[in-house]
Chain A
Amino acid sequence: MPSSFLFYIMKELNLFTLSLKNLKRKGFRTGILIFSIALTVSILVFGLSFILSVNSSIKRASDRLGADLIVVPVGARDYAEEVLLETKVKSFYMDKGIVDRVKKIEGIETVTYQTYLSTIQGACCDIPEAMVIVFNQDTDFIVKPWLKKAISRKLEKGEVIVGHESLLNIGLGLMDIDANIFGIRFKIIGALEKTGTGLDNALFMSDENIEDILKKGTSNLKPMDISVIFTKVRKGYDPYQVGRNIEGEIIEVDVVSRSDIGKDIIHTLKDIKQIFSMAIVLALLLSAFLSWAIFSAIANERSREVGIMRAIGAKESHIITLFFTEVFIIGTIGSLAGIGVGIYLFIFLSKGFSIIKNISTNITLTGEIAIALVAFIVGTIICILGAISPIYRLKKIEPLIAIKEG
């Protein structure tokens, strides 16, 4: 019933079917405009998706990191960010003695530390290259919330829990199995939930295993090596000030505060954003211009027809409706195609962009829908904007003159 109704509507002559007939008549030209709108919209969708996903993963990373200040070996500030935000495997070390010195700084509430090791397939371990995060379970407050959700108990010696992404990397069927890491048989007992940060790509174990690993000598780790110190700052203290105090007292370290995480990336992102914005504005202008040019040509070609329609009773509103229906059809098809291409580009082409490849990208469905909606509206509006003046010129035509001019 509904399909036969639709068939009836499509067969019937009305302003909609008339505009379809008009568009078909110059298929190639219609196609060019659709293509241009699609191109513009796809750039818009790709750019917005890119920026939104990078922004949100940085925000997520700093939100979910339970620390106010991150203390790293001097010069390792960037490495630390890469570990936390991206999926890079990095190792950098400082002396464990620094932990106690940090603890003594005024305003520090709690302190915990982690040691980063890297596994390289073949050499030491039978899992792909990954980051191993060795943490101190007595003081830990970084991994704890995730661990609690996953297994609701502490990790025993000889046990490993993996991040959400490395679970996928290692293989889903490998739960509750043994793996050789640094020459020691570890039991993989589970996986953490997705955190949306670099931690998703790591393996976690407690520092009770350090001694055994050192004994095997399968890593480049030396005794008393740690990589980062996470601290919480007491209420009433300014984290920045405390951070400066730490750097002042302990020359071997750099301090990153939570709100500074990803600052460099955000900075780089600003440039990328600017390039995207420029490309988008340019594409929008070009599309609007093309729409204007094409509808100006259409207006010239069809002024005689408009004259005829006006002479047999078409109101100005009929003419406007007819032409804007054509514009709207072009804008809609172009925008929809552009949204499809843009999302496809983002998913498949983005693998080639190291900045997205390394940052765990996951735009929520609502985010993607919002982007699609914005892109759709912009794509359609730009088409309409270009066509407005030619169409309004048409509507003012004096019927007889237009008919005779044809």
Chain B
Amino acid sequence: MPQIEIVTLTKAYMIGKDTIKALDSISLKINKGEFLSIVGHSGSGKTTFLSIIGGILMPTSGKVVFDGTDIYSLNQEKLSEYRSKKVGFIFQFASLLPVLTAKENLLLPSVFSQKNMGNNEKKVSEYLDMVGLGDKLDAYPSQLSGGQQRRVAIARAFINDPEVILADEPTGDLDEETETEIMGLFKKMHEEKGATFLLVTHSSDLARHARRHLRMHNGKLLEI
């Protein structure tokens, strides 16, 4: 049984009276531990696709079946648990809470998953170290550069040991060297923890590490 099965997934947005089909009956099977890359033009539907898999955007029709359960048939509580425990999301947009320090931003997911915070303190510094921010524990997002904020968000996505990592252009604002470091981290997580990766990227260097390559085009997903 595939870990994730996407069945004729469609998402239509309404802009005024017009409907825009951002996703057009996409079907896809993903096995546990696979590493997929997705490329595609701006506006082709990549973020929409990842968001629906991550449980943060209702599809218009179709299903996302995770471990045998259609996640959009779950109630909000169970769906929140899915986001909290199964998925690590790296957003295309800035996504840190401004009132919290880097360390606290990393602790936040465990507040919602009700994991023991005490144990996480060590893990938090470890993960911030891994993204090269071991010295920024107490810095607020406003005191970090865009790339540093992005790296905190990456560390946050990993902190709950998710089974699936959804990364939406995670190295968009990082230099080549840092990008290589982050890629090293992804590989490590992939190999050590066996997490499944869906990686949206324009960097061919990053995409190289993937086993399956997909292209999004006008809401359709093509295997390449």
The stretch that binds B, out of A12-20, A183-191, A231-239, is A12-20
Q: Bound complex: CA of A142 vs CA of B47, how far in Å?
A: 90
- B80–A314 contact, CB under 8 A? yes
Does A308 interact with chain B (Cβ within 8 Å)? yes
Chain A residue nearest to B99 in the complex (CB): A21
- B83–A312 contact, CB under 8 A? yes
Interface residues of A in 315-337 (CB under 8 A from B): 315-318
* Contact residues in B for A305 (Cβ distance below 8 Å): 97-98
Known A13-B117, A314-B80, A400-B51: A309·B112 in contact at CB below 8 Å: yes
Does B95 interact with chain A (Cβ within 8 Å)? yes
For A, the interface residue count at a CB cutoff of 8 angstroms equals 27
Does A311 interact with chain B (Cβ within 8 Å)? yes
- A312–B84 contact, CB under 8 A? yes
- A398–B108 contact, CB under 8 A? no
- B112–A314 contact, CB under 8 A? yes
Does B61 interact with chain A (Cβ within 8 Å)? no
Q: Bound complex: CA of A66 vs CA of B125, how far in Å?
A: 80
Q: Bound complex: CA of A317 vs CA of B75, how far in Å?
A: 13
- B93–A18 contact, CB under 8 A? no
1/0 per residue B90-104: CB within 8 Å of A? Answer: 010101111110001
Known A312-B83, A315-B77, A316-B76: A398·B97 in contact at CB below 8 Å: no
Q: Bound complex: CA of A125 vs CA of B214, how far in Å?
A: 109
* Contact residues in B for A309 (Cβ distance below 8 Å): 97, 108, 112
Does B6 interact with chain A (Cβ within 8 Å)? no
* Contact residues in A for B60 (Cβ distance below 8 Å): none
- B83–A313 contact, CB under 8 A? yes
Chain B's nearest CB lies how many Å from the CB of A368? 39
Chain A's nearest CB lies how many Å from the CB of B56? 4
1/0 per residue A282-319: CB within 8 Å of B? Answer: 00000000000000000000000100111111111110
- B97–A13 contact, CB under 8 A? no
Interface residues of B in 34-85 (CB under 8 A from A): 47, 51, 54, 56-58, 76-77, 80-81, 83-85
- A399–B56 contact, CB under 8 A? yes
Q: Which of B95, B108, B160 contacts A13 (CB 8 A)?
A: B108
Q: Bound complex: CA of A13 vs CA of B98, how far in Å?
A: 14
Chain A's nearest CB lies how many Å from the CB of B146? 15
Known A398-B58, A400-B51, A404-B93: A312·B108 in contact at CB below 8 Å: yes
Does A215 interact with chain B (Cβ within 8 Å)? no
Interface residues of B in 93-130 (CB under 8 A from A): 93, 95-100, 104, 107-109, 111-113, 117
Chain B residue nearest to A305 in the complex (CB): B97
Does A25 interact with chain B (Cβ within 8 Å)? yes
Q: Which of A22, A313, A399, A406 contacts B84 (CB 8 A)?
A: A313
Does A374 interact with chain B (Cβ within 8 Å)? no
Chain A's nearest CB lies how many Å from the CB of B11? 11
Does B150 interact with chain A (Cβ within 8 Å)? no
Interface residues of A in 1-57 (CB under 8 A from B): 12-15, 18, 21-22, 25
* Contact residues in A for B89 (Cβ distance below 8 Å): 311-312
Does B156 interact with chain A (Cβ within 8 Å)? yes
* Contact residues in B for A399 (Cβ distance below 8 Å): 56-57
Does A403 interact with chain B (Cβ within 8 Å)? yes
- A308–B95 contact, CB under 8 A? yes
Known A308-B97, A400-B51: A315·B112 in contact at CB below 8 Å: yes
- A311–B91 contact, CB under 8 A? yes
Q: Bound complex: CA of A312 vs CA of B99, how far in Å?
A: 16
Q: Bound complex: CA of A313 vs CA of B81, how far in Å?
A: 6
* Contact residues in A for B160 (Cβ distance below 8 Å): 313
Chain B residue nearest to A317 in the complex (CB): B77
Q: Bound complex: CA of A48 vs CA of B93, how far in Å?
A: 54
- A12–B99 contact, CB under 8 A? no
Known A12-B117, A313-B83, A315-B112: A403·B93 in contact at CB below 8 Å: yes
Chain A residue nearest to B48 in the complex (CB): A400
Chain A's nearest CB lies how many Å from the CB of B107? 5
* Contact residues in B for A403 (Cβ distance below 8 Å): 91, 93, 95
* Contact residues in A for B91 (Cβ distance below 8 Å): 308, 311, 403
* Contact residues in B for A25 (Cβ distance below 8 Å): 99
* Contact residues in A for B77 (Cβ distance below 8 Å): 315-317
* Contact residues in A for B96 (Cβ distance below 8 Å): 308
Chain A residue nearest to B52 in the complex (CB): A400
Chain A's nearest CB lies how many Å from the CB of B22? 11
Q: Bound complex: CA of A406 vs CA of B97, how far in Å?
A: 12
Q: Bound complex: CA of A308 vs CA of B97, how far in Å?
A: 8
- A311–B54 contact, CB under 8 A? yes
Q: Which of A13, A22, A313 contacts B107 (CB 8 A)?
A: A13
Known A13-B107, A21-B100: A311·B83 in contact at CB below 8 Å: yes
13 contacts between A and B (CB under 8 A): A12-B117, A18-B111, A308-B96, A311-B89, A312-B84, A313-B160, A314-B112, A316-B76, A316-B77, A317-B77, A400-B56, A401-B57, A403-B93
3 nearest A-B residue pairs (beta carbon) = A313-B84, A399-B56, A315-B80
Residues of chain B at the chain A interface (Cβ within 8 Å): 47, 51, 54, 56-58, 76-77, 80-81, 83-85, 89, 91, 93, 95-100, 104, 107-109, 111-113, 117, 156, 160
Known contacts A13-B107, A318-B111, A403-B93; can you find 4 more A-B pairs with CB under 8 A?
A305-B97, A315-B81, A398-B58, A403-B91
